[in-house]
Amino acid sequence: MIARMTHSRSQELFAEALRYLPGGVNSPVRAFRAVGGTPFFAQRAYGSHIEDIDGNSYVDYVCTWGPSILGHAHPEVIAAVKSAADRGTSFGIPNPLEVDLGRKICEWVPSVEKVRMTNSGTEATMSAIRLARGFTKRDKIIKFDGCYHGHVDSLLVKAGSGALTLGQPDSAGIPAALAALTLALPFNNIEALRHAFAQNRGEIAAVIVEPIPANAGLILPLPGYLEAMRELCTANGTLLIFDEVMTGFRLGRGGAQELLGVRPDLSCFGKVIGGGLPVGALGGRAEIMDYLAPLGPVYQAGTLSGNPLAMAAGLAQLKVLEEQNVFEKLEQLGAQLEVETRAALKTAGLDYVFYRVGSMFCLFFTSQTVRNLDDAKTSDLKRFTRVFHGLLERGIYIAPSQFETGFISAAHTQKDLAQTSEALTEALRA
Ligand code: KE4
């Protein structure tokens, strides 16, 4: 028998939030619109847990959508932020920490020779698209159905994550003339990409892709697909942009591109490199990056880009990742979660697909192999919703949408995994 949670304070606060914030939130996917109910309001987070204002505590598999790879409030991250804050929160003039983090990113990601810091993943992808257009002097771009690259006008076309969750993959407010410059193709279909290049010869500035899409649930690239994408971009003088805002510094030092052995021309990062503070970055070949102002003609700027607090948090997090061999621990925790999840699903006798790469995972309730967005949409969303709430009331918090990816942190414990397995077994009975 589970102790009934109360959520009265979150419900009251959500009612008030609705008066001041559209949908009561500052980012749509937090609103629980896909799963129903009222989002809880966090009051603190520590290690693998997040606690709401009613005093309920949850094992957290959202991990603030990726940044808290070490777990929440890691002592070294907190200490670094406090120390930096004592020296001022923003300077608006170069500071040593942004050079340190820039150097670290270039050292960890072989394809990155130079990097520009931004304040979000959205700014990073927006800047990368503009840079690719400026460098190639072409206007068209290619993206993939269900991939989400932040709320950039040119990229909110058949987008994933919250846009897909809310059923608005093509946002209002995007001029048709601009959207027409974005070609959206099915992921894992190399013939579709080959055809798009043939139909738009010499016109494609960039192909932007999540190398392992994680915003339509988690989808794995078919063998050879990204290699063929790389070859087509090279043959057509098109820049290949890997959006590694989620996978970067999470799947290993060099992210998905190192894991998969495919080298993009530009990469976008975020989340982990900010340790939970606002951050993004774009990086790549120096000959391309030097097109950015003040060196080159492509303007890109930001009051708080490279600010000392986010740099300090990111550097502290990467330092722990490196010194404590965290990636190996994440793989072990991920493998154990997978075994226990598959066992619970087998017991329940349900059709499912479970994908995992390192500490990123996703459960689809479908019998179909999920190779792209259309396949992902065959998942039983009603069952997902029942499982989401069944887990939540048992103290397990997963993303409030089928079209997201779960994360494990280095702070997750054997006790957490045992609680998760028990809760899943019961939630699957609902
Ligand atoms: P931000 O602007 O939210 O920092 O990053 C945008 C972005 C870019 N690229 C990828 C691959 C991303 O996953 C994201 C943002 N991820 C979502 C979660 N699916 C953020 C959560 C939210 O929108 O609240």
- Specify if 33 maps to a domain: yes
- pLDDT of 370 > 60? The answer is yes
In the block, tokens 């030092």 appear at: 253
Is the distance from the beta carbon of residue 244 to the nearest atom of ligand 1 less than 6 Å? no
Ligand 1 centroid, distance to 149 Cα (angstroms): 6
C-alpha of 416 from chain center: 23
Pick the catalytic residue from 140, 158, 271, 377.
Answer: 271
From 322, 356, 377, give the residue that closes a domain.
322
389 and 352, same structural domain?
yes
In the block, tokens 């670290």 appear at: 104
Is the distance from the beta carbon of residue 29 to the nearest atom of ligand 1 less than 6 Å? yes
243 is known as an active-site residue: yes
275 and 207, same structural domain?
yes
302 and 230, same structural domain?
yes
- pLDDT of 343 > 90? The answer is yes
The two counts, helices (H) then strands (E), for the chain are 15, 14
Per-residue pLDDT tens over the stretch 253-293: 999 999 999 999 999 999 999 999 999 999 999 999 999 99
Q: Taking the CB of residue 36, how many other CB atoms lie within 10 A of it? A: 10
Residue 169 domain boundaries: 75-322
Write out 258-314 in H/E/C secondary structure: HHHCCCCCEEEEEHHHHCCCCCEEEEECHHHHCCECCCCCECCCCCCCCCHHHHHHH
Report residue 3's pLDDT band, with 50, 70 and 90 as the boundaries.
Answer: low
Pick the catalytic residue from 243, 265, 375, 416.
Answer: 243
What order of strands is seen across the sheet that includes strand 406-407? 353-357, 360-364, 406-407
The answer to whether 65 and 202 have CB atoms below 8 angstroms apart is: no
351 and 269, same structural domain?
no
114 and 244, same structural domain?
yes
Per-residue pLDDT tens over the stretch 88-143: 999 999 999 999 999 999 999 999 999 999 999 999 999 999 999 999 999 999 99
Q: Is the dihedral angle over the CA atoms 250, 254, 258, 262 positive or is it negative?
A: positive
How long, in residues, is the chain? 430
Is the distance from the beta carbon of residue 276 to the nearest atom of ligand 1 less than 6 Å? no
263 and 115, same structural domain?
yes
Q: Identify the residue whose C-alpha is closest to ligand 1 atom 13.
A: 246
Ligand 1 centroid, distance to 362 Cα (angstroms): 16
CATH code, domain with 171: 3.40.640.10
Distance CA 25, CA 28 (A): 6
314 and 336, same structural domain?
no
Per-residue pLDDT tens over the stretch 18-33: 999 999 999 999 999 9
- Specify if 54 maps to a domain: yes
161 and 96, same structural domain?
yes
- Specify if 227 maps to a domain: yes
Contacts of 113 (CB under 8 A, 6+ apart): 106, 283, 284, 285, 286, 289
358 and 229, same structural domain?
no
Overall domain count for the chain: 2
Question: What percentage of the chain carries pLDDT values higher than 90?
Answer: 95
228 and 203, same structural domain?
yes
271 is known as an active-site residue: yes
From 322, 353, 378, give the residue that closes a domain.
322
Is the distance from the beta carbon of residue 149 to the nearest atom of ligand 1 less than 6 Å? yes
Angle between helices 414-427 and 326-348 (to 10 degrees): 20
Cis preceding linkage at 96, omega within 30? no
Q: Which pLDDT belongs to residue 169?
A: 76
pTM for this one? 0.98
Contacts of 396 (CB under 8 A, 6+ apart): 58, 59, 61, 419, 420, 423, 424
- DSSP notation for 27-85: SGGGG-TTT-S-PPPEEEEEBTEEEETTS-EEEESSGGGTT-TT-BT-HHHHHHHHHHH
63: left (phi over 0), alpha (psi -120 to 50) or beta: left
- pLDDT of 1 > 70? The answer is no
Q: Identify the residue whose C-alpha is closest to ligand 1 atom 7.
A: 150
Q: Which pLDDT belongs to residue 2?
A: 61
Which atom of ligand 1 is closest in space to residue 122's alpha carbon? Answer: 2
Which atom of ligand 1 is closest in space to residue 278's alpha carbon? Answer: 4
318 and 217, same structural domain?
yes
368 and 304, same structural domain?
no
Per-residue pLDDT tens over the stretch 177-231: 999 999 999 999 999 999 999 999 999 999 999 999 999 999 999 999 999 999 9
Q: Which pLDDT belongs to residue 55?
A: 97
